[in-house]
Structure 1
C-alpha cells in the first residue's frame, strides 16, 4: 500500500490499518496532500490521550503545507490493546517504535519529519537512534524519559486509575498547563470528552500495565550524542510534569540542536500555545531556525 491509496483530503480524516508487525489494527489520523512533505506526530500518555486528542489543531492547521500523520499509539484510544499487555514501559515503547515504522512502510514513505510530545518525544528519540535513515528533522516537546526527578504531578498521572472520574481528570489536566484560565479550550469539557475514552476497560488495562514499571524511559546519553538530525527542543518553563531541566539535558547532548524555552507555559505546549507551536514547526521545517 502507498500513501496515494489513502483518501487524503486537505481536511482531517482517520484510517484504520492492519500492519504486519502489529497483532491488532492501528488507527492513524491524517490531513493534507500525500504529495506534501510527511510529518509524523506522536502523542503523550495522559489518560484518554490519542493522536487526535493531542494533535487535532496541528493536523487542521498544518495540513495545508504537510502530509500530517498522527497515529493512536498501541495501547491508546482506537489502536490495538493487547489482551495480555506487557507490564514494562520499555516493551510498550518497542511496540510503538515498530508501529511507527510499520505505518511509514504501509504508506510507502521513506523519510518523514518527526514531532513528539512528552512520552511521544521519548519514543521519537528511540526512533532517531534506531532508524535514523527514516527521518529528516525532529521536534521534541516537553520530552519525558530524561534522567530528571519524577514529579508529584507525573506520579498522579501514572496512578490516575486509583480513583478515576471526569473531575479527577480535569484536575489532572489543570496541572498540565501553566494558567488554566488562559487556555484556548475548556479543560473541564475536554476532560469529560476524553474520560469517555479513558473509562473504556481496554484503555484502562493498557494504561495500568504500561506504568506498572514506572515512568517513561529514555535513550542512553551515548545514543543521544549520535543523533545527527537537526532537532528542535521546546519546553515550558513552568512545566510541573516534566521539569525544564529535561530540555537542558537534551540540549547538552544532542549535537545539532535548537532550544526554545517558553515562559508562562506548562507541559501541554501545543494546547497552551497552538499558534506559536505551528509557527515554530513551519519555520524549523523550512530551515529558518
Structure 2
C-alpha cells in the first residue's frame, strides 16, 4: 500500500516559497529528500515512488529546491555552483525550521547528496543520518561525457534531447515504462520556464562544490553511500571516495544500475533505506 502525497507551497523568508511533497505522519522519523540538478527536475519526478513507499513508517519531505520546479527562484541568480548551493541550502534550512523538525535523515541524489554533505557541515546538530545516492563531491572529478550532456542541455532544449539525456541516467531504459519520450514530454513545461534555463546556466561553471578528505573526516555522522555500478553521470569512483573518507560510512554498490537507483531499483533502494534508518533518526 502506498502513502498519499500531500503537496503544498510552504512560505519561507523574503516572500519566497518551496513546493513541498510530504507523506507519512508528522512526528514520525523525518526523512528530507534532496533531488538532483537535471533540467526540468522536480522533487516529485525524483522521489515520488520512494516517498509513497516509505510513508507508512516515516515522515517523508521532498521539496523542490529553490530555483527548481514550482518553488521560488532566486532573482538575481547567484553565479556558480557553490554560490547557488549556499542560497539554496539556506532556504532548505528555513524549511526545516518552519516545519519544526529537530532531527532529520538527509537523503540526497547527485547534487542533493552534495547539499546533504554541506548541511551536515553547517548543522551537524540537525542531521541524524545521511543517505548519499549517486552523489558528487569528489575534488578534481572531471565531468563525464554524459554529465556534459546534462550541463549543455539548453544548447538544444528539445523533447528529443531530453529523452536522449534521460536514458543516460539509467542502465536499463525499461525503468521508464512504455516510453521515455512520454517522460521527457512531462518535463518540458518546466524546462521552458525562462528562469529554469537561467538557473541551470548560472550553476555550472569551472568550480563545483567539493569535499576534501579533511572536510569529510569532520562529518562524523552515520552515512550510507549508495551507487549504481553502471552510473555514467557520477562515476562509482566518487562513491568509493566518499565512503573511504566519511568516518561512519558504509558503501552499497548496486550492479546493473545507473545514476537513478531510486527509480531503476526502487524497491531495493527503499529496503536499503529502511534497514539503514531503522525506526528512528538517532
> What is the TM-score normalised by the length of structure 2?
0.94
Query: Unpaired runs of 5+ in structure 2?
Result: none
> Which of 33, 37, 47 is the aligned partner of 1:45?
37
1:20-68 deviation per Cα after TM superposition (whole angstroms, max 9, x unaligned): 2x55221111111112111000000111101111100011111111111
Corresponding residue for 2:9? 16
Query: Unpaired runs of 5+ in structure 1?
Result: 1-8
Q: 5 Å matches for 1:1-12? A: 10-12=3-5
Corresponding residue for 1:93? 85
For residues 157 and 215 of structure 1, the distance between their equivalents in structure 2, rounded to whole angstroms, comes to 16
Corresponding residue for 1:140? 132
Corresponding residue for 1:116? 108
In the alignment, does 2:143 pair up with 1:150?
Answer: yes
> What is the TM-score normalised by the length of structure 1?
0.92
In the alignment, does 2:69 pair up with 1:63?
Answer: no
Corresponding residue for 1:245? 237
1:158-198 deviation per Cα after TM superposition (whole angstroms, max 9, x unaligned): 11000111110000011111121354574221111012211
In the alignment, does 2:66 pair up with 1:74?
Answer: yes
Contact 1:125 1:218 in 2 (8 A): no
Contact 2:225 2:239 in 1 (8 A): yes
- Shifted more, 217-226 versus 227-236: the winner is 217-226
Q: Which runs of 4+ in 1 moved over 4 A?
A: 182-185
SS of 2:274's equivalent in the other structure is helix
For residues 18 and 226 of structure 2, the distance between their equivalents in structure 1, rounded to whole angstroms, comes to 28
- Shifted more, 118-127 versus 26-35: the winner is 26-35
For residues 109 and 208 of structure 2, the distance between their equivalents in structure 1, rounded to whole angstroms, comes to 12
Corresponding residue for 2:198? 205
Corresponding residue for 2:23? 31
SS of 1:133's equivalent in the other structure is coil
SS of 2:164's equivalent in the other structure is helix
For residues 164 and 207 of structure 2, the distance between their equivalents in structure 1, rounded to whole angstroms, comes to 20
Contact 2:20 2:61 in 1 (8 A): yes
Q: 5 Å matches for 1:186-197? A: 186-197=179-190
In the alignment, does 2:163 pair up with 1:170?
Answer: yes
Corresponding residue for 1:161? 154
